[in-house]
Amino acid sequence: MEDGQDKAASRTGGNPAAEFGGQARGLRAGVPRQLPPPTRHFVGRAEPLKELSELLDQLASARGAVSVQKPGSPGAAVISVISGTAGVGKTTLALYWAHRVADRFPDGQLYVNLRGFDPSGAPVEPGDAARSLLEALGLAAERVPPAIEARLGLLRSTLAGKRMLILLDNASDAGQVRPLLTAAPGCLTLITSRNQLTSLVATHGAQMISLDVLSAPEATELLERQLGLERVAGERDAVTALTGLCARLPLALAIIAARAAVRRNLPLAALVAELRDDGGVLDALHGGDTDTSIRAVFSWSYRQLSEPAARMFRLLGAHPGPDISRAAAASLAELTPGQADRVLTELTGAHLLTEFSPGRFAFHYLLRAYAAELARDDSDAAALEAARLRALDHYLQTGFAAALLLEPHRMRITLAPPRPGVHTEPLADYHQALAWFQAEHRVMLAAVSLAANNGHDRHTWQLAWTLSDFLDWRGHWHDWLNTQEIALAACRRLGDAEGQGHAQRSIARACNQLGRYDETMTHLDAALDLYGACGDALGQARCHIDMAAVLERLARYDEAIDHAEQGLQRFRAAGHSAGEANALNAVGWCNAMAGHHTVALDYCTRAIELQRQIGDKHSEAATWDSVGFAHHHLGQYDEAIACYRRALGFYVEIGHRHSQAETLSHLAETQQASGEPDAARQSWRQALTTLEDLHHPDADLVRAKLTGEG
């Protein structure tokens, strides 16, 4: 385990395959209102709006069936699928109507973009979408079950009895949304997709709404609202031509209207001539999409940009996505933050980019496809590659700083200096680092893949290194394993033995969290050999501590003590105080588990002295837990309870809930032994709540304790 990582978390591991056994707990107060804002210029769509409004009658009927408990009428959630071609306004319609009826759903509105057709990467997995929805419902991120089925089950349980509107936007197919659907009769789910998803009619009784392009009068009305009645009335023939060239697609019309609004003195007929000169359609519109002039609209709009904005647009097509921050955009384009702000403002004003949250920007997927096409066709391949490397430097340098704020005592790696023009994001403390990782999670995963696919192997494994603790603490263990496997392959291509050691050890720790203990030991053996080959004594020491943690769980105490002592010897020889303190605790804990409690107290007392000197509260908490365990088994119950409460104080401050649960369980054992059964039951219940929320297999052990007491 990393320096400063608590011993308790390392020794328990995790098993996301275990069944989730409790109700949703610990929800934060507040009603989610996640709907993005509606468009300012909504026109037409009378018939689809009528069909959507009829859903409210179905919803009322479903609620009534449940309330009166009619035989054979259990009630069901109401589901509608809005389908249509790219750019036809599916999301616009859904948001417009959802905002109009939001007051009919007092428990809130949920929204998730499933990115079914996003060229930047794979669609959002149902499990990841469920995680986002659970967090929006108030469940703390660390309490979301890692196992997908448990996560989906918890989502359904949490929605039961609620009156909510759920918008699942940009679905790729029925398989992506089916796991997210609820049977709760108080909920209405809207789905938008380029595909019809007709199978949902048979399986879930979904209502289908097929959205066509705007009618000619509606398209004209859209231009009137954006350009003004007088301008449109003066050039009716040009307006008719414009709506035809845009195939009456709302997205294309909005873009051209925005450009026309800027060029107020330009006749609309001149815009028609420019569009006709370009012709063609965007190749990304395939698979049954309407033949449109969307590329012509995009290319015309692109050519009206200033040179810096046009360059930024092209470079954004080479960014890993799915979104980007101001600082990352500045690094990508080698601009100052002020210059980047001006360029991004120009792009958002042209409807070529959206600021979907303060300081974060994203493309509509058609625009991303067009930008990526421009990036591929850019004749200056060297400049494009330099921009890609600046983006990778930005994420690596900021991620490195964030990783050390999360865990100051973890092993260090050596980074190359950032390229000129790279702007790292200033992060002041643990909380800002955690928020940065949360915002950049998907981008960082994409950056690891981008680096690997473009031959930047050093960036690949070092980016994966920065993510390790965040992915572990948040329970993204499959992402952790995947990124480290990519990192290992990159290090092998580089012939970097030390990097391979880091990746093998991180793979081992991910396997340990996933309950794959045989694989854990295999990878730790490989890491130990690699560290030995390159003379990395600290790497070897960490491997021995990790091995001790696994062997202790397998009740192989003598072997565990031996490995912990080997780790201690190496940390001492290297003069590594944080590692030495961690190893002292590991030796003490393994001795305590073997029944050598006086020996354990000696080692752990020395560990606490060192941890206080270096200010490592994380590891000190774990050591107080070890000391409490030893006192308990020496019959010194008051001392044990005091130690456990001290450990709990640190864990609450740090926010490591799994360690809190383990210490609460130990505290309960001592309270029971000292004749305080009521206090013991209370501690066990608190521990069980946390373990169930974390979907941890130790929940069964704690539940058995409570059952025995009941």
Band (pLDDT 50/70/90 cuts) for residue 354 is confident
Reduce the DSSP state of residue 616 to 3 states and report it.
coil
d(CA 99, CA 36): 9
Q: What own/partner pairs with CB < 8 Å and gap ≥ 24 does 671-679 have?
A: 671/641, 672/709, 673/632, 673/637, 674/637, 674/638, 674/641, 677/709
Average pLDDT score, the chain: 86
On the question of pLDDT at 179 being above 90, the answer is yes
Q: With beta carbons less than 8 A apart as the criterion, state whether 549 and 585 touch.
A: no
Who's near 493: CB < 8 A, 6+ residues apart?
457
Most confident of 113-122, 407-416, 671-680: 671-680
Reduce the DSSP state of residue 362 to 3 states and report it.
strand
If you ran DSSP here, which 8-state letter would residue 268 be given?
H
Q: With beta carbons less than 8 A apart as the criterion, state whether 444 and 358 touch.
A: no
The tens digit of pLDDT for each residue in 484-503 reads 999 999 999 999 999 999 99
Tell me which of 81-85, 166-170, 268-272, 362-366 is least confident: 362-366
The kind and range of the H/E element at 461 are helix 457-473
> Which residue in 121, 103, 99, 243 sits closest to 170, CA to CA?
121
* Rg of the chain (C-alpha set): 29
The predicted pLDDT at position 17 comes to: 28
Bridge partner residues of 190 (DSSP): 80, 167
Tell me which of 72-86, 200-214, 411-425, 691-705 is least confident: 72-86
Q: With beta carbons less than 8 A apart as the criterion, state whether 192 and 172 touch.
A: no
Q: With beta carbons less than 8 A apart as the criterion, state whether 454 and 421 touch.
A: no
Who's near 615: CB < 8 A, 6+ residues apart?
none
Q: How far is CA 287 from CA 86, 91, 407, in A?
A: 11, 20, 48
3-class SS shares of the chain: helix, strand, coil, % to 5: 65, 5, 30
The predicted pLDDT at position 257 comes to: 85
The tens digit of pLDDT for each residue in 302-348 reads 877 899 999 999 999 889 888 999 999 999 999 999 999 999 998 88
Q: With beta carbons less than 8 A apart as the criterion, state whether 3 and 410 touch.
A: yes
pTM above 0.75, yes or no: no
The predicted pLDDT at position 541 comes to: 96
Provide the H-helix boundaries in 43-147: 46-68, 90-100, 126-136
b/e 332-347 (16+ beta carbons within 10 angstroms → b)? bbbbeeeebeebbebb
> Which residue in 247, 263, 333 sits closest to 301, CA to CA?
263
> Which residue in 512, 521, 356, 520 sits closest to 439, CA to CA?
356
The tens digit of pLDDT for each residue in 74-86 reads 446 789 999 887 7
The predicted pLDDT at position 283 comes to: 36
d(CA 314, CA 388): 12
List the structure tokens of 64: 């009534």
The predicted pLDDT at position 297 comes to: 58
Reduce the DSSP state of residue 78 to 3 states and report it.
strand
